Amino acid sequence: MIIPLFDIYSLYVCPPSIVQPNEDKGSIIITTSRGDLFQPLWYLAFKSPWPGFDILDILGAFATVQRSPDDEYTHLIVRPTANIPDIQDPPDEQQLSSSSSATTGDPVKQAIRDARWNVFERLSRITQLSRDTAGK
């Protein structure tokens, strides 16, 4: 499943606690701007290094991530106020046939698209690692 960055409303990033024996797993929960709540991604402290803060750093390169004043583990994804062209929608067939530059594309849009896929690829690797770890 692919979730566009600005469809994410918040991330609940709770690291594992090594001090408390019952709190040895961390979790990341994604809430969308429509209110959908995805299943938590669990990470066991003794199985793999905690990636939660790395995820926040990566997302912070592409969007403003703010810690919620209500909860220390909740981080809000702030939408930009400026109008950003929507690169999620595929172009119409008429636009593709009438524009010869559609195959090369705008360099800025291409850079944004490449960066977005780079983030998604990293998140999918983390998800796959958590599934592999949970399966063991």
- Are 113 and 87 in contact by the 8 Å Cβ rule? The answer is yes
| Domain layout of the chain by residue ranges | 5-135
CB 42 within 8 A of CB 134: yes
User: What is d(CA 118, CA 135) in angstroms, rounded to the nearest whole number?
Assistant: 26
Kindly provide the b/e burial profile for residues 73-112, where b requires at least 16 CB atoms within 10 angstroms of the residue's own CB.
bbbbbeeeeeeeeebeeeeeeeeeeeeeeeeeeeeeeeee
pLDDT in tens, 78-105: 877 655 555 444 444 444 444 444 445 6
Band of the pLDDT at 18, cuts 50, 70, 90? Answer: low
What digits encode the pLDDT tens for the residues 25-70?
Answer: 788 899 998 888 998 888 876 666 777 778 888 888 888 999 988 8
Spatial contact of 77 and 10, defined as CB atoms under 8 Å apart:
yes
